[in-house]
Amino acid sequence: MTGGGSYADGLLGNDRPEERARLACIQDGVDGFTQQTLLGLGLAPGWTCLDVGAGAGSVARWLAGYCTEGDVVAVDVDTSLLGAAPEPRLTVRRADVTAESFRPGRFDLVHARFVLCHLPDRDAVLARAASWLRPGGWLVVTDPYQLPAQTSPFPSVTRLMHAYDAAHAAVGADLTWSRRVPSLLARAGLRDIGFAARPSCLGNGLRDRWRPLLDGVAPQMIDSGSVGAEDLAAFHTDLDDPGFIDIPQLTLAVWGRLP
Ligand SMILES: C[S@@+](CC[C@H](N)C(=O)[O-])C[C@H]1O[C@@H](n2cnc3c(N)ncnc32)[C@H](O)[C@@H]1O
């Protein structure tokens, strides 16, 4: 990994309680969107699926429940939050997708959510993931598209989001990479490219998705010197204000099919 730390042991290691909260927050906020996307592509009970960077496993488990005549492989560098193999038809595999490969033509669906944008060699991993599809299979890549921090109506959010962007850039992540994905899928030989976006909510009472995300990288943001603990504390206070509502990021799902 570039830039002074790895993805797994740097920003987003699974060994911290913050990571558990962060993954739960992602799942609560995005699982509905992901399920809608996959069903829209014609997900069928007989499909063989791969979930890359499965995290706490909500998508892999949902796929295993849906694909009653197929099977699902969940791969992650850290499977500690996935458990052993909690579902029939679900295989949990500990592996680094930047180094590991799968048999070409093996899967009807390869799904990667909030993983590839964090990998410095993301373009190459995407191209390899496309090769794991069987003809007719879909590659679905979901990643953030971070809106410009300075366009927030809240100066406090602008400061926090600059620090959030910088903390990710320092470990080689690119929070705007998703915009390149439609073209990368086409260049990997996929067709029927499509995409959909879902706004991510900061504030707005119980609909807030950002407290666990910002708390999860608070040490790195504070270390960078661009924000202090008082900025995080002010953010927590602001969350009680019903007028504190912002959209700092879009979640972009992009898909393509191997002819
Ligand atoms: C932000 S989490 C997303 C989890 C899940 N996809 C979701 O959306 O709920 C990213 C996951 O990717 C995993 N990961 C990071 N780098 C990886 C790599 N090189 N190979 C496999 N998994 C990786 C992390 O361990 C983490 O569980």
All domains of the chain, ordered by start, with CATH? 17-257 (3.40.50.150)
Residue with CA at minimum distance from ligand 1 atom 10: 115
What is the largest distance, in Å, between two alpha-carbon atoms of the chain? 54
Tell me, in angstroms, the distance from the centre of ligand 1 to residue 16's CA.
Answer: 14
Best probe residue, ligand 1, of 2, 52, 77 (max atoms within 8 Å of C-beta) = 77
Asked if 98 contacts 125 with a C-beta cutoff of 8 angstroms, the reply is yes
> Are the C-beta atoms of 109 and 138 separated by less than 8 Å?
yes
Cβ 55 under 6 angstroms from ligand 1: yes
Q: What is the pLDDT along the chain (259 residues), one digit of tens a residue?
A: 222 233 434 444 445 577 777 888 888 889 999 999 999 999 999 999 999 999 999 999 999 999 999 999 999 999 988 876 667 899 999 999 999 889 999 999 999 999 999 999 999 999 999 999 999 999 999 999 999 999 999 999 999 999 999 999 999 999 999 999 999 999 999 999 999 999 999 999 999 999 999 998 999 999 888 899 999 999 999 999 999 999 999 999 999 999 9
pTM attached to this predicted model: 0.92
CB 114 within 8 A of CB 141: no
- Ligand 1 binding pocket includes 175 (Cβ within 6 Å): no
Do the Cβ atoms of 255 and 140 come closer than 8 Å? yes
